[in-house]
Every structure is written in structure tokens, then in C-alpha cells.
């Protein structure tokens, strides 16, 4: 029979292994908790501070608020029969950006694919911040104004991403289409059905989008692994219309030729009416 100290050491090692596994894939751990309702699991992995920025709940901070948020989401996800599929992950240092498709029942009872992006950032080994971006249109059929999460910073991507952003700001449809591969695509936040692929489709989409001028965003944080560049931003103007600053994230996926193979957007911003 093992000595008691050996047993305690084995339990502690198992606990450390569990924490290490969850910390290596924080977004999977986060969504597991949202689906099971086991909010204390987040506290066990990150016993310091857990902060959540959610499109519906806003800022969630502290163990009590986190547990309440997790319970509410577990009920919501069960009600909508949600299942999660990971699309891509962009990891740099202590920050990971994970793109997901969540299959849910919408407000009309139809099953839809709901694009969601989650940024998980660890300021230290004990704490974690989750920032979730999406449109709520696929779930409730309504656009919601999402206040800024981050302050405007000095994050200005270069290469083809920078050219895309400059053309978007200028309202230059030809310039922005020129940053894509011939079979590249842009997916709108409302779901895979709103995907624009290939030069003619992209030309038509951006010509309509820029009818009143370009779209101006404040750059906040960039997470770039060389293949995918994730830009967290605040959208503040569309054409001649100033907008209430609204948070979002876009993922720019490069091809081997240095052009854009894909752009996937996660926000709830709506083009202003004339």
C-alpha cells in the first residue's frame, strides 16, 4: 500500500496535468464548461482571475458572476441543442484566437450554423480572459450594438492584410478585390450561407458595400501566426455615417502566393441606411 505522502503527490500531479491540458487549449475548456455548466472547473484551471466578455452578458468578472454566467449559458445551449465544430486556431504566445461553427436552433426552430470567434488571453499562469465575437442574428434575428471591449491601439498589419484594410477604409472595391486569390472568399458574420467567393461575386459584394464610401475601423489587437491574421477592432464609421463604436474581429487567411484566401468576419455591425 503506498505511503500517504505518495498518494497526495499523485493527486497533485494529476491535478497539475489536468490544468496543463486545459491551459494548452483554453477555448475548448471554456466551451466544455459552457455546455456542462461546471463553472468551478474554470476556477480550478485558472484560480487567479477569470474575465469573460460576452455579446449578450457584457463583462463577467469574479467567481460568483462567472458561475452564474456559466449556468445561464448551459441552459441556453441546451435549449438550442448546440453542438460545436472548430474551424481554425491562431495561436501566438499567451493569446489564442479560435474560430467555431456552432450548430443551433434559431428563433424559428431551424438548425443554423452560427459563426463564433473566441480570443483567450492569459496575462499569467493563473488568470484568463475570454473575448467572444459573433453576430446574434443567426439566433434571434436581430442586430445588436456591441460596445467596444478594447481601446484603439497601434496595431497595423502589413502585407496583403494592410492593403485590404487601406482599400476598405478608402471604399476602393477594385483595390480590395485585388487582394484576394481568384477563388478567395469573404464570409459575413451571419453564417456560411452569406459567403462571397471568386472575383465576380466579391466585386459585386464590395461595390454594394462601398456605395456610400469606405468603412473605418480602429485597430485594437493583432494576433498573427504568419498564415492567419486576427484583428480585433472597433468600427466607428461607414461611408458618411458615424457609428456608435462597435467591437468585432476579422480573420485574414493568406494563401501561399501572399494574397488572401479567406476573410471571416465576426461582428454585429449593420450598414447604415441612407
Q: What is the pLDDT of residue 16?
A: 54
Q: What is the pLDDT of residue 9?
A: 55
* Strand (E) or helix (H) holding 103: strand 95-105
Q: What is the pLDDT of residue 19?
A: 55
Domains and CATH numbers, the chain: 4-140 (3.10.450.50), 159-266 (3.10.450.50)
* Strand (E) or helix (H) holding 19: helix 4-24
Q: What is the pLDDT of residue 11?
A: 41
Whole-model pTM: value is 0.90
pLDDT in tens, the chain (274 residues): 555 555 545 444 445 555 566 677 899 999 989 988 888 888 889 999 999 999 999 999 988 899 999 999 888 888 888 889 999 999 998 999 999 999 988 777 889 999 999 999 999 989 999 999 999 998 888 899 999 999 998 888 889 999 999 999 999 999 999 999 999 999 999 999 999 999 999 999 999 998 778 999 999 999 999 999 999 999 999 998 999 999 999 999 999 999 999 999 999 998 887 6
202 within 8 A of 209, measured Cβ to Cβ: no
Q: What is the pLDDT of residue 37?
A: 87
Beta strands in 109-227 (DSSP E): 111-124, 127-134, 180-187, 195-197, 215-224
Q: Where are the alpha helices (DSSP H) in 154-252?
A: 159-170, 173-177, 199-209
SS3 percent helix, strand, coil of the chain, rounded to 5, is 30, 40, 30
C-alpha dihedral sign at 205, 113, 250, 76: positive
Amino acid at each position: 500500500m503506498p505511503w500517504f505522502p505518495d498518494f497526495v503527490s499523485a493527486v497533485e500531479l494529476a491535478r497539475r496535468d489536468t490544468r496543463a491540458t486545459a491551459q494548452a487549449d483554453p477555448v475548448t475548456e471554456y466551451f466544455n464548461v459552457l455546455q456542462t455548466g461546471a463553472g468551478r472547473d474554470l476556477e480550478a484551471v485558472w484560480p487567479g482571475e477569470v474575465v469573460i466578455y460576452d455579446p449578450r452578458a457584457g463583462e463577467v468578472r469574479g467567481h460568483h458572476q462567472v458561475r452564474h454566467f456559466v449556468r445561464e449559458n448551459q441552459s441556453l445551449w441546451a435549449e438550442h441543442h448546440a453542438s460545436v465544430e472548430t474551424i481554425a486556431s491562431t495561436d501566438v504566445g499567451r493569446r489564442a484566437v479560435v474560430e467555431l461553427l456552432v450548430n443551433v436552433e434559431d428563433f424559428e426552430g431551424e438548425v443554423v450554423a452560427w459563426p463564433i470567434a473566441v480570443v483567450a488571453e492569459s496575462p499569467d499562469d493563473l488568470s484568463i480572459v475570454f473575448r467572444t465575437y459573433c453576430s446574434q442574428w443567426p439566433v434571434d434575428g436581430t442586430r445588436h450594438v456591441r460596445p467596444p471591449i478594447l481601446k484603439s491601439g497601434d496595431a497595423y498589419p502589413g502585407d496583403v492584410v494592410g492593403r485590404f484594410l487601406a482599400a476598405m477604409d478608402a471604399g476602393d472595391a477594385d483595390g480590395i478585390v485585388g487582394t484576394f486569390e481568384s477563388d478567395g472568399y469573404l464570409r459575413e458574420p451571419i453564417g456560411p450561407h452569406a459567403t462571397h467567393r471568386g472575383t465576380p461575386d466579391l466585386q459585386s459584394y464590395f461595390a454594394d458595400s462601398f456605395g456610400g464610401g469606405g468603412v473605418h475601423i480602429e485597430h485594437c489587437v493583432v494576433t498573427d501566426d504568419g498564415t492567419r491574421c486576427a484583428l480585433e477592432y472597433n468600427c466607428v464609421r461607414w461611408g458618411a455615417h458615424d457609428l456608435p463604436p462597435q467591437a468585432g474581429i476579422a480573420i485574414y487567411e493568406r494563401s501561399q502566393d501572399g494574397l488572401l484566401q479567406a476573410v471571416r468576419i465576426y461582428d454585429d455591425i449593420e450598414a447604415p441606411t441612407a
